[in-house]
Amino acid sequence: MAATVTRTAQDPTPAQGQLLWRRPTPAEADPAGHRRRRRRVEVTLAWLTPVVFIGLWQLVSSQGWLDPKFFPAPTKVWTTGVDIARSGVLWHNLSISLRRVILGFALGVATGALVGLAMGLSRTLRAAFDPILTAFYMVPKLALLPLLLLIFGIGELPLVLEIAITVFFFMWLSCMAAFTSVPESYREAAQAFGAGRWQTFRHVLAPAVLPDVFVALRLSIGVAVLVMVGIEFVQASSGIGWLIWQSWNLFLAAQMYVGIVVVAVTGVILTMAIRLLGYFAVPWARQAHGTGQVPF
C-alpha cells in the first residue's frame, strides 16, 4: 500500500510509490484574509516610513549634526508653515499654483488624448504627424516659455500653456501607443460578432486602453506640478514655486522647506485623486489585477 506524504510547494519530489498531497499556502487557503493582512502591512509601511524619516531628521537637527541654517528641524518647518498659513500667504500662493496646474493639465489632457486617439487609429495620420511631433517632443519645454511670452505677453496664459504643452506630449504618446498596441484579434472578434466602428471602439478598444490612459494621467499630473514649479521660478510673481524661490533669495530656509513640502503633498493628493477616479472608472482593471486595487 502506497504511503501518503503531506508536503508544501517547497518540499522535494516524493519517492516512488508515495502519494502526493500538497498543503495549500495561506494565500490559497484564505485569499480574502491574506489580502487584508497584506493590505494592513502595506498601509503600515506607507505611514511608518515617513514618520521614521521625519523622526531621524528631527534627531540629527536637534543634536546639531546638521547646520540648522540649511536644514532646520521639522518642528521649525512646521511652526513656520503654521505662521504663513495663518497670514494667508501660503493659501494665496497655493491657490494660484493649483489653478495653473489644473487648467494646464485639463487642456493638455484633452488635446493630447484626442490627437493620440486619432493617430492611434489612423496609420495615415501617424505617418503624417509622428515625425514633427516627435521633433517637438525632444525640445525642452521650458525653452518654449520665451516664445510663449513673446506671442501672448506677460500674464497667466503663457504659464498655463507651458504646462498644457508638456502634458500634451505625455498624453499623446501614451494614448497613441495604447491604441496601436491593442491586439488585432480584439478587432477581428468584434467584427465577427457584427460590431460596427463605434461599437468596436466603445466596447473593445476603449476598455482595453483605459488602464494605460490612467497611467498617462498619473504621469502627467506629476509633470504638470513639476513644470508649474519650474516656470514659477523664472516667470511669476506668485505661486508656490515663486514662494520657494523668494525664500531662497531671502535666505529663509524654513519657509523654503514649507514650500517644498506643500508641493510634495499637493502632488500626492492629485495623484491619489486620479487613482481614486481610476478605481471607479476602470473596475475591470482591478479585477484582472487580482488584488482589488488598480494597477496604476
276-290 pLDDT per residue, tens: 888 888 877 666 555
Angle between helices 240-249 and 253-281 (to 10 degrees): 160
**CATH code for the domain in which residue 93 is found:** 1.10.3720.10
pLDDT band at 243 (very low <50, low <70, confident <90, very high): very high
pLDDT at 260: 94
- Can you tell me whether residue 20 is helix, strand or coil? strand
Domain boundary among 47, 66, 85: 66
Mean confidence (pLDDT) of the chain:
84
| Residue 60 and residue 123 in one domain | no
**Pair 155, 192 in one domain:** yes
Closest CA to 225 of 108, 113, 102: 102
Residue 275 forms part of a structural domain: yes
One domain for residues 132 and 172? yes
- For residue 253, tell me if it sits in a domain: yes
Which domain range does residue 81 map to? 73-289
Is 202 a domain residue?
yes
* pLDDT tens-digit map of 176-211: 998 888 888 888 788 887 777 888 888 888 888 888
Domain count across the chain: 2
First to last CA, the chain: 54
* Nearest to 244, CA basis, from 223, 266, 275, 216: 266
**Helix, strand, coil shares of the chain as percentages rounded to 5?**
75, 5, 20
